[in-house]
Structure 1
Amino acid sequence: MSPVRPQVRPGNRHYTLVCSSCGSRYEDDGLILDCPLPHEPAFLRTEYSAPTGYSAPAGYEGAGGRTDTGLFRHAALLPVARTFPGVPGPVVRRADRLGRRIGLDQLWVAFNGYWPEHGAHLPTCTFKDFEAYTVLGRLPAAPPVLVIPSAGNTAAAFAWAATLHQVPCLLVVPDTALAGLRFPTPLDPCVRVVALDGAAYSDAIACADLLARLPGHQAEGGSRNVGRRDGLGTVMLAAAEAIGRLPGTYVQAVGSGTGAIGAHEAARRIRTDDEALPRLMMCQNAPFAPLFEAWHHGGRAPADREHEPLARELTNRRPPFTVRGGVHDVLTESGGDVLRVDNVAALAAMDLFDETEGIDIEPGAGVALAALADAVRAGLVDRDELVLLNITGGGRARQARDLRLVPAEPWLRVPWPTTGDGPAMVAEQIGRHLTYAPAAAGAAR
């Protein structure tokens, strides 16, 4: 497959990295994840030279003299050294019929998926496409192999973006994620998918942490990567443009909370002096709701419940709750809350969205809608509030009807051991197979 050529930004990067704890400032090399100074765990955040406001500059002139649209119309507020043509952005629209059904007069939906009639064409049907392309756009010219654990959606987004642009990636997923890895063509050989049979998402994370220490490999970083947070934050940028103001309340299903943190950081950049930050409502799927437990009770979800939620994409056992700039801080600053709903409520919400809006949505999005409906009934959200509901994935069934997709073949399948140090044993086994040809580890193109 011939790579799609990126638009390379000339000159220095248009932003600075700032430590949320000590305030130290760094010039980005495209890979840095943490402040190296000794202090509490803290996110780096981006500080842009571009003017802020609801109408973000429409990207910059690339090498071909073309102005980007879609995701990269917000390039001036993204930590990227290059953009990629043709990447769709968020689609924001009013959802009056759905709003009436759940008791809201001003409900807006950011639909992030596949819905051609409304201009939504995300290739892997979730907002993870935004983070994948932003992370790849942030990389230096000759990147190491990115090691990325995933419950499914993140792996799909990185696999397809890296295939189109030939960026070496090692994706570590539980075998249950394979059903969602379907693409228009086979993956490029530079993208390697390792399936862990019988493993949970937390197992994939632990294994990937060890693999990232191998020579020539680098942890992508998850929520610590400013590319992820700012890429997902484009949902808030697009919403402010469409609505003409920031929403009063922002609702999203979360596993790690990275998308909600990114939305909060984006709102901080573009709000006017007299405008309040949107109240964050993060939503989780019982019985596995570690952020709910941490926020309300200072505890964590039981260790044996990770396989039970309908929305497996939300099962992150290690969310950045206490990190400076992380979930606790953004909830506190926004006056937010963490909600939870069970599988039955999520399924009913998925049916409601299909009935009122005419498109299927992912389980995580169903969790968010169900939690919002509960919050309205409980009086936590007023009828006249301007609410933005982030539909983090949808249209997968519609896409399967419209397009012929090829299931991805894992590069390696490894059974998860039932005894011993599982992550170390599996990482050692995978490491024996890892030999990337020079062409596979070349420059991002």
Structure 2
Amino acid sequence: MDPGDPYLIACTGCDWRSADDGLRMSCPRCGDGALLRTEYATTSFTVAPEASGVFRYRSWLPVRREIDGSSRPAVYRSEGLGRELGLTDLWVSFSGYWPERGCRMVSGSFKELEAYTVLGRTPQQAGVMVVASAGNTAAAFAAAHGPGVPRLLVVPDRAAPVVAAAGGCSADVRVVALRGATYNDVIDFSRKLVASTPGFFPEGGVRNVARRDGLGVIALTAFEEMGTLPEFYVQAVGSGAGAIATYEASERILASGVAAGQSVPRMLLCQNADFAPLGRAWRGEPGPADGGAQADPYAPELANSTPPYDVHGGVRDILRSTAGDVLVADRAAAQSARAMFEELEGIDIEPAAAVAVAALREAVRSGRLPRDAKCLLNVTGGGRRRLHATTTAGAVPEGGATPESSGIRSVGLTASPDEVAAAVLDSFASGRWPLAPTPVGY
């Protein structure tokens, strides 16, 4: 490593490594067959107490600049939920809006961890970043303010209110909501947008090292607060990016020498019972011919039918390495778990987090998770009702923002990607957003 490079990017499938240009998502030798990882010049676990939010761990973040406004998760040892589940050493990593615990993610989701880091990695004047999202990632990229990084957020129309509440459109952000779309429709439309013009580039998803290292802050914060790595890690997943990130960050902690005698936590990944592509792949079960696109899962943000399962460094590798498993929870169990968490812990949580709580409850009941295990539950979103009810700076007014008032534009699934792309580029050049606004009452 050149002494001037704070980090390199390296392929998990071969020995290729290079300095980072801020945009590379794949190995030039392996193509899309392997994930890239970061190798940092600083090998010790180091915090910057004077830095705010995620940048407290900047020595292990692939960023060229820091952006104001981020927040770390709140990590605490649970009393109420742990007692109810019968776990004697349950820890919660909460991401969302819970100011009493020092967590102020105004989008209500842990996706802010990746948004600030991705924007910090991306070079200015690179073009328009296209982000495909089921809702939470787009809300995070709308909430984060990255100077010089214009971005187009593409979401299903049902997710538009969440994005509107987080800020909607702004000087750097345009939002397109696809009517009647699934998450996979959004991914497909976003790819067509990127292909339509050289002025666009993809955010990259799980293949963006900044996204995963940003999400790795979950593990870094937990280690700092707990003083140890957990034995079990529980999280609801769609692509599995957060779980891969926790695995990679845990390996980095172990390599630093501060966790002697410990190991990477066993990964327990959670999905909707009626849409669990990772669970099917892990158990070797065939999936529906349409990939499950017609499913109506309780937590639609987990409905990614093409997760990075069998790539080098992907979900299968981390499950095998940690003797992990994929758990599922149905709608009734998740709804019950959501109410239970709010009653016991005093904060509302999002559907995906409720799936994880429900799956954890069943894992304890069935004996798959020892009651005395040191367990970390990643609550990936919550506090939105608290956020919407407050009048503090940056919060959503009473009643919430609407897609129309936030400049979100609605288009049909058959819309021309070329025409949408041209309108977006024109809007950034002119400061006007010419697509038809979303109808009132949307």
When normalised by structure 1's length, the TM-score is 0.89
Structure 2: how far apart are the matches of 1:279 and 1:125?
27
Answering whether residue 151 of structure 2 is matched by residue 161 of structure 1, we say: no
Alignment of 1:259-408 (within 5 A): 259-271=242-254, 272-300=259-287, 303=290, 304=292, 306-402=294-390, 403=395, 404=397, 405-408=400-403
Instruction: Give the match's secondary structure for 1:82.
Output: coil
Structure 2: how far apart are the matches of 1:302 and 1:239?
40
Q: CA RMSD in A?
A: 1.9
Structure 2: how far apart are the matches of 1:289 and 1:359?
27
Answering whether residue 226 of structure 2 is matched by residue 239 of structure 1, we say: no
Contact 1:148 1:170 in 2 (8 A): yes
- For structure 2, the residue ranges without an aligned partner over 5 or more in a row are 432-442
Deviations 1:339-381 (A, max 9, x none): 1110111100000100100110000000001001111111110
Structure 1: how far apart are the matches of 2:67 and 2:31?
36
Answering whether residue 91 of structure 2 is matched by residue 91 of structure 1, we say: no
Aligned to 1:5: none
Aligned to 1:251: 234
Deviations 1:112-146 (A, max 9, x none): 01111111111101100000000000011322210
Alignment of 1:408-419 (within 5 A): 408=403, 409-417=406-414
Contact 1:13 1:81 in 2 (8 A): no
Q: What's the offset of the Cα at 1:39?
A: 6.1
> Partner letter of residue 99 of structure 1?
G
Cα separation, partners in 2 of 1:321 and 1:131, compared to 1, 3 Å? same
Instruction: Give the match's secondary structure for 1:351.
Output: helix
Aligned to 1:14: 6
Cα separation, partners in 2 of 1:146 and 1:98, compared to 1, 3 Å? same
Structure 2: how far apart are the matches of 1:301 and 1:281?
24
Determine what percentage of the aligned residue pairs are the same residue. Answer: 45
Aligned to 1:176: 158
- Per mean C-alpha deviation after superposition, the further-off stretch among 401-410 and 33-42 is 401-410
Structure 1: how far apart are the matches of 2:368 and 2:134?
31
Instruction: Give the match's secondary structure for 1:181.
Output: helix
How many residue pairs get aligned? The number is: 413
Structure 2: how far apart are the matches of 1:301 and 1:278?
32
Cα separation, partners in 2 of 1:180 and 1:228, compared to 1, 3 Å? same
Structure 2: how far apart are the matches of 1:243 and 1:273?
15
Cα separation, partners in 2 of 1:185 and 1:155, compared to 1, 3 Å? closer
Structure 1: how far apart are the matches of 2:220 and 2:6?
18
Instruction: Give the match's secondary structure for 1:434.
Output: helix
**Could you list the runs of 4 or more consecutive aligned residues of structure 1 that deviate by over 6 angstroms after TM superposition?**
none
Q: What's the offset of the Cα at 1:400?
A: 0.7
Structure 1: how far apart are the matches of 2:284 and 2:38?
31
Contact 2:70 2:144 in 1 (8 A): no
- For structure 1, the residue ranges without an aligned partner over 5 or more in a row are 1-10, 60-66, 418-424, 441-445
Aligned to 1:30: 22
